[in-house]
Amino acid sequence: QVQLVESGGGLVQPGGSRGLSCVASGSIFSDAVMGWYRQAPGKQRELVAVITSNGRTNYADSVKGRFTISRDNAKNTVYLQMNNLKPEDTAVYYCNLWSRPYTYWGQGTQVTVSS
C-alpha cells in the first residue's frame, strides 16, 4: 500500500509563491504517475498537474505558465511550485499517485491566497 503525505500549504498573498511537496511511501512501482489535484469551496475537485515517471507533464489551463510540477524518483517525492498565485488558486491541494490498477490520495494541504 502507498501512503502520500502533502506539506507546504499555508497563507500567501496574491502574486506570491508557494511550494508543495508530497512524499510517497510504500510499494511504488517505477511507472507510477503522480499529480496534484485541488478542490476549492463550491467547486469540483480538478486536476492541476501530472507528471510521469520519465518526466512528461500536463497542466490545467488555469495554471499553465504559473505552476511547475516535478518529481524526485529517488526520494519518492513530487513537488508543485506555484508562482503568481491568485485568490482563485485557494483550495485544498491533494497529491495523487496512479499505478494500475491502483489510485492513491494524500490527505490534502490547504493553500489560501489572500491579502
The pLDDT assigned to 48 comes to 98
Closest CA to 93 of 32, 33, 22, 26: 22
26-43 in b/e form (b: 16+ CB < 10 A) is eebeeebbbbbbbeeeee
pLDDT in tens, 46-105: 999 999 999 999 999 999 999 999 999 899 999 999 999 999 999 999 999 999 899 999
